């Protein structure tokens, strides 16, 4: 009987010791700040130091109003030319030999750069349907293949075959306000998938023709060239995760008279959020 009591006492002490050892084991501490998750794992008795791991949860909860500053667009520009060159020659707006072929652009050199001072997105329906708007500068450079020159007072487009031009472009710059309805198909992701459709209104604040020749070097002629002061365009965006493609097409010719050329732009948008 005495031996049984001693045996039971020993077993009880062993179990108590094991329980005390387990109770000293510390569980990891988890801290969540927004989408950031911080996990601190304490060291054990062997001398291991505390370990800290930082990760981000996949779920993203956008604010009702989000703002993105200094958005950059890089793309190309061109136009749909429906000019009646027989009529423009008859009324004196174009010179002899100027036609659709002479007015064709160098597609790889005709560029569009947009600098949006800000883009803002306003939640309308559960962050899936949003109103998107902004303010920025729309810069268009139309680079010509042929030596077409814009004379002024009055405006007239002529061919200058007497000089070799290494660069010949027409620049048209606008202050533009875009307004779109944005459909965000993945509202819980920071860079998701979606579509935006709308329109923009731009005011022409600068226009010029820049030429470079071997004899006279670089020259700039600042004039309005009978360009429309206002440019109204249909615009759209396609959001593909970290990349956004954009495009626009004007509702009418960029010239008030003479040439019937409707401009369009397309390219890629670089921004912090899409």
pLDDT at 191: 74
Preceding amide of 154 cis, omega within 30: yes
Q: Is the pLDDT of residue 77 over 80?
A: yes
The whole model's pTM is what? 0.76
Q: Is the pLDDT of residue 51 over 60?
A: yes
The per-residue DSSP string of the chain comes to -HHHHHHHHHHHHHHHHHHHHHHTPPPPEEEEETTEEEEEE---TT-PPPEEEEEE-S-----SEEEEEEEEEEEEEEEEE---HHHHHHTTSB-TT--TTTT-B-TTT-EEEEEEEEEEEEEEETTTEEEEEEEEEEEEEEEBSS-EEEETTTTEEEE-TTS-EEEEEEEEEEEEEEEEEEEES-TTSSS-EEEEEEEEEEEEEEEEEEEEETTTEEEEEE--TTB-SEEEEEEEEEEETTEEEEEEEESS-SBSSS--EEEEEEEEEE-S--
pLDDT at 269: 94
- Whether 169 and 141 have beta carbons less than 8 Å apart is answered as yes
Residue 17 pLDDT level (bands cut at 50, 70, 90): low
Q: Is the pLDDT of residue 196 over 60?
A: yes
Taking residues 143-148, report their average pLDDT. Answer: 96
Least confident span in 2-11, 94-103, 246-255: 2-11
Percent with pLDDT over 70 in the chain: 79
CA-to-CA distance for 130 and 70, rounded, in angstroms?
Answer: 20
Contacts of 34 (CB under 8 A, 6+ apart): none
Nearest Cα residue to 267 out of 249, 251, 244:
244
Nearest Cα residue to 236 out of 199, 270, 191:
199
pLDDT at 216: 85
The better pLDDT of the pair 164, 250 is held by 250
pLDDT at 200: 98
The rounded mean pLDDT for the chain is: 86
pLDDT at 72: 96
Residue 227 pLDDT level (bands cut at 50, 70, 90): very high
- Whether 218 and 234 have beta carbons less than 8 Å apart is answered as no
Strand-strand pairing, 129-143 and 111-125: antiparallel
Q: Is the pLDDT of residue 245 over 50?
A: yes
Taking residues 207-217, report their average pLDDT. Answer: 93
- Whether 231 and 202 have beta carbons less than 8 Å apart is answered as yes
The better pLDDT of the pair 12, 71 is held by 71
Taking residues 174-194, report their average pLDDT. Answer: 90
């Amino acid at each position: 009987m005495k031996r049984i009591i001693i045996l039971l006492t020993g077993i009880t002490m062993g179990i108590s010791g094991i329980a005390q050892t387990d109770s000293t084991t510390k569980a990891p501490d988890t801290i969540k700040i927004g989408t950031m998750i911080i996990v601190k794992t304490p060291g054990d008795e062997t001398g291991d130091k505390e370990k800290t791991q930082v990760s981000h949860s996949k779920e993203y909860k956008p604010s009702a109003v989000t703002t993105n500053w200094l958005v950059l667009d890089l793309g190309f520009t061109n136009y749909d030319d429906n000019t009646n060159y027989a009529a423009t020659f008859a009324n004196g707006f174009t010179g002899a030999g100027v036609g659709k072929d002479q007015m064709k652009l160098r597609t790889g050199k005709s560029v569009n750069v947009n600098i949006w001072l800000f883009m803002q997105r306003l939640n309308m329906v559960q962050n899936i349907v949003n109103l998107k708007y902004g303010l920025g500068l729309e810069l268009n450079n139309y680079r010509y293949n042929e030596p077409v020159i814009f004379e002024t007072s009055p405006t007239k487009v002529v061919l200058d075959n007497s000089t070799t031009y290494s660069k010949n472009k027409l620049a048209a710059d606008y202050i533009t306000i875009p307004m779109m309805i944005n459909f965000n198909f993945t509202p819980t992701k920071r860079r998701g998938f979606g579509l935006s459709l709308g329109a923009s209104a731009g005011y022409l604040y600068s226009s010029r023709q820049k030429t470079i020749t071997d004899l006279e070097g670089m020259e700039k002629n600042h004039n309005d060239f009978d360009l429309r002061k206002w440019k109204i365009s249909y615009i759209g965006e396609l959001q593909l995760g970290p990349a956004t493609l954009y495009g626009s097409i004007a509702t009418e010719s960029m010239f008030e008279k003479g040439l019937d050329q409707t401009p369009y732009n397309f390219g890629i948008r670089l921004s912090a959020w899409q």
